[in-house]
Structure 1
Amino acid sequence: MRAAHAVMSFDADPRHVENARRVTKAVLGKAGIRDRDTVGTVQLLVSEIVTNAIVHGNANTVSFQLTCDADGQVLIEVDDHSSGNPEVREAAPDDEGGRGMQLVTVLADDWGRKGTCTWCTLPTGTR
């Protein structure tokens, strides 16, 4: 297992979510994490937090940072440069959205908000 890290900023446009997912896969690969389920889970969390920042943040840019340490612990940080806090809510069965932070709560080891940055951590199970 090797440490790997990426930082990027982009316009608050949903088209950039896929770029964040690609960067995530590349960073995890550089760290030696190639398990499809693990990579998919990390990409899902990145997608949800980045999408939340784009849709609910009120800034023109979003900053994304992904860190994988030598022990396989992943830290996702997404800064929407906004003062609001993400909400975990119960979406109705026919709602098209509203489940992002619920997924983060279930899949991440821990998550929170520091300033304008939403973060989450998860172990990859790889050492």
Structure 2
Amino acid sequence: MVEVSQRLPRTPRSATRARALLREQLTEWGIKGELMDTAELLLSELVANAVQHAPVPAGRDIGLRVGLRNGRVVRIEVSDAGDGRPVPRQAGPEDEQGRGLALVGALADRWGCSPRPYGIGKAVWVELELPGGGP
């Protein structure tokens, strides 16, 4: 798997930087159009969750990894130092939050959560299969 990684501050503004990094990398791999748009939306949800829900001291970074496996599967991973695992919930019609993981489940081909390999916390990931087997 070819992958790139980046550490970002745990602030709401990091979603903008993460999307720019993702677009740059996907463009380099020749991935564009609807798949890029979907990847950006999914990344935004994962970063928003890491920023909002990770109960860690201020100043801790979040991690971003973007990978391309076998030229056919894009994997996006956001890690944080929080130990709570994401749980989809049923948002009511008046709720202003709570739809992010439902959106992730609907748009990603696969998604999940695993312990961070090096350190405390977790990594939440999504995978998108490229149409036609690759760029």
Fold match (TM-score > 0.5): yes
| Residue type at the aligned position of 2:9 | D
1:5–1:27 Cα contact (<8 Å) kept: no
* Superposition map of 1:99-118 within 5 A: 99-115=99-115, 116-118=122-124
Q: TM-score, structure 1 length as denominator? A: 0.90
Q: Quote the offset at 1:72 in angstroms.
A: 2.7
In structure 2, what is the equivalent of residue 12 of structure 1? 10
In structure 1, what is the equivalent of residue 64 of structure 2? 64
Q: How far, CA to CA, are the matches of 1:124 and 1:42 in structure 2?
A: 11
Structure 1: which 4+ aligned runs deviate by more than 6 Å? none
* Superposition map of 1:1-127 within 5 A: 5-35=3-33, 37-59=34-56, 60-115=60-115, 116-126=122-132, 127=134
Bigger shift: residues 13-22 or 57-66:
57-66
Q: How far, CA to CA, are the matches of 1:4 and 1:51 in structure 2?
A: 25
Percent of residue pairs bearing the same amino acid type = 32
Structure 1: gaps (5+ residues): none
Q: After superposition, what is the alpha-carbon deviation per residue over 1:79-109, rounded to whole angstroms, capped at 9, x for unaligned?
A: 1111101111111112111111111111111
For these two proteins, the number of residue pairs brought into alignment is 124
1:75–1:120 Cα contact (<8 Å) kept: yes
SS state of the match for residue 14, structure 1?
A: coil
Q: TM-score, structure 2 length as denominator? A: 0.85
